[in-house]
């Protein structure tokens, strides 16, 4: 069964070679210097233009775009509970050495392009009304040398909020899922929830995105917003049932293990909200910065589809866009995330899988 799975994985995206990488497109080399985008402002600075004047001009240039114009109108909520569509992204590229509290130049370059991404969503009929992100960890986070203080999600999404006038909501840290879910689906039931019937963009820490998705689906299930029923009648298994029942490998972007194979994790060793089908959960690779997870509602306002696509953003860093089905264990809050062996190769499943 393991051989069958690994052989199937090598056909991902039609490739039959086991040495093909699945990485994103990047900026042309003449737009990069030492691995980062070139600073093109220098030509303006020499002509007496102040940086703040340029920043103001950039803000002004976005005010007639669809995303900015939409956000200036009072949202019209519907009688459904919770958001209509949820888009989830990771923060941008980060510093490679500690302390890595912030984004690096590539991450900032990505953040500066996200306004165009949000405007594309608006043009497709999915205008963003609210942004949700998580609080940063402090410099003196617990964990010693494994501490991971981060303002990266806030830094990534702040430019979009500023340029397109979209409010940001923060309900806790990267692992405070229950508060986010309560705000999205359960609080102020049923008509005064500000997110009802609207589209939201969430920017999060990558190692906690899988758990965030599962918790959101559990909340949506309790609000009768899913097209699938909870496994075993347990409310904590809505997310598990959703990823099993909906297409677990959308567009061939990630390969899942055969249902008859043994589970990778002992069910007793994972959090309660994790069900028995963790082979269907989309794992977020440590070197992936440009994926978008979309929990999509149908015409009846039920969340019935999970899609993965890429941001229309290019940097000088080649993201690993390989998508696989694998449970992503959490570390303690504000500590460096789990990373499976061989992730950096962006070619095959982590080596731990090879030993099944």
Instruction: Please give the pLDDT value at position 147.
Output: 81
Residue 17 is assigned to a structural domain of this protein? no
Instruction: Please give the pLDDT value at position 172.
Output: 94
Residue 331 is assigned to a structural domain of this protein? yes
Residue 344 is assigned to a structural domain of this protein? no
- Domains: count for the chain: 1
C-alpha to C-alpha distance for 281 and 13, rounded to whole angstroms = 19
Q: Which of 278, 54, 65 shows the shortest CA–CA distance to 164?
A: 65
List of residues 6+ apart from 232 with CB closer than 8 A: none
Instruction: Please give the pLDDT value at position 54.
Output: 87
- pTM, entire model: 0.86
Residue 290 is assigned to a structural domain of this protein? yes
Q: Which of 209, 210, 216 shows the shortest CA–CA distance to 238?
A: 216
Residue 188 is assigned to a structural domain of this protein? yes
Residue 15 is assigned to a structural domain of this protein? no
Range of the domain at 222: 24-339
Helix, strand, coil shares of the chain as percentages rounded to 5?
35, 15, 50
Instruction: Please give the pLDDT value at position 115.
Output: 97
Instruction: Please give the pLDDT value at position 65.
Output: 95
C-alpha to C-alpha distance for 176 and 65, rounded to whole angstroms = 34
Residue whose tokens read 């070619």: 347
Residue 209 is assigned to a structural domain of this protein? yes
Rounded alpha-carbon distances, angstroms, from residue 197 to 85, 156, 164, 222 = 8, 25, 20, 16
Instruction: Please give the pLDDT value at position 38.
Output: 92
The mean predicted confidence, pLDDT, of the chain is: 80
Return the HEC string of 250-290.
HHHCEECCCCCCCCCCCHHHCCCCCCCCHHHCEECCCCCCC
Residue 189 is assigned to a structural domain of this protein? yes
Rounded to an integer, what is the distance from CA 288 to the centroid of its chain? 10
Rounded alpha-carbon distances, angstroms, from residue 252 to 15, 62, 152, 214, 324 = 11, 36, 30, 21, 10
Which parts of the chain sit beneath pLDDT 70?
1-21, 43-47, 77, 143, 187-191, 231-236, 247-276, 279, 340-342, 347-356
SS3 category, 22: coil
**Angle at the Cα of 196 (from 218 to 63), degrees rounded to 5?**
120
Instruction: Please give the pLDDT value at position 6.
Output: 32
């Amino acid at each position: 069964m393991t051989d069958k799975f690994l052989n199937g994985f090598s056909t991902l995206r039609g490739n039959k070679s086991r040495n093909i990488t699945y990485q994103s497109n990047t900026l042309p080399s003449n737009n990069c210097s030492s691995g980062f985008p070139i600073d093109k402002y220098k030509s303006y600075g020499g002509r007496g233009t102040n940086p703040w004047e340029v920043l103001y001009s950039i803000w002004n240039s976005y005010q007639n775009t669809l995303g900015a114009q939409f956000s200036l109108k009072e949202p019209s909520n519907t009688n459904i509970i919770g958001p209509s569509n949820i888009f989830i992204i990771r923060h941008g590229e980060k510093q490679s050495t500690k302390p890595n509290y912030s984004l690096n130049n590539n991450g900032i370059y990505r953040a500066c392009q996200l306004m165009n991404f949000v405007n594309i969503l608006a043009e497709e009929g999915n205008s963003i009304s609210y942004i949700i992100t998580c609080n940063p960890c402090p410099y003196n986070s617990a964990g010693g040398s494994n501490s991971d203080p981060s303002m990266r999600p806030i830094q990534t999404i702040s430019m979009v909020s500023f340029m397109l006038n979209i409010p940001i909501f923060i309900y806790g840290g990267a692992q405070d899922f229950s508060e986010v879910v309560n705000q999205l689906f359960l609080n102020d039931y049923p008509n005064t929830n500000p997110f009802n019937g609207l589209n939201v963009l969430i920017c999060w820490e990558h190692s906690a995105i899988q758990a965030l998705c599962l918790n959101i689906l559990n909340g949506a299930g309790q609000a009768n917003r899913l097209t699938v029923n909870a496994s075993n009648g347990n409310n904590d298994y809505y997310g598990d049932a959703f990823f099993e029942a909906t297409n677990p490998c959308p567009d061939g972007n990630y390969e899942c293990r055969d249902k008859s194979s043994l589970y990778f994790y002992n069910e007793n060793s994972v959090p309660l909200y994790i069900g028995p089908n963790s082979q269907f959960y989309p794992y977020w690779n440590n070197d992936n910065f440009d994926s978008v997870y979309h929990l999509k509602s149908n015409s009846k306002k039920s969340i019935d589809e999970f899609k993965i696509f890429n941001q229309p953003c290019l940097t000088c860093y080649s993201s690993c866009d390989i998508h696989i089905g694998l449970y992503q264990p959490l570390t303690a809050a504000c500590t460096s995330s789990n990373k499976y062996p061989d992730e950096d190769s962006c070619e095959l499943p982590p080596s731990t899988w090879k030993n099944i």
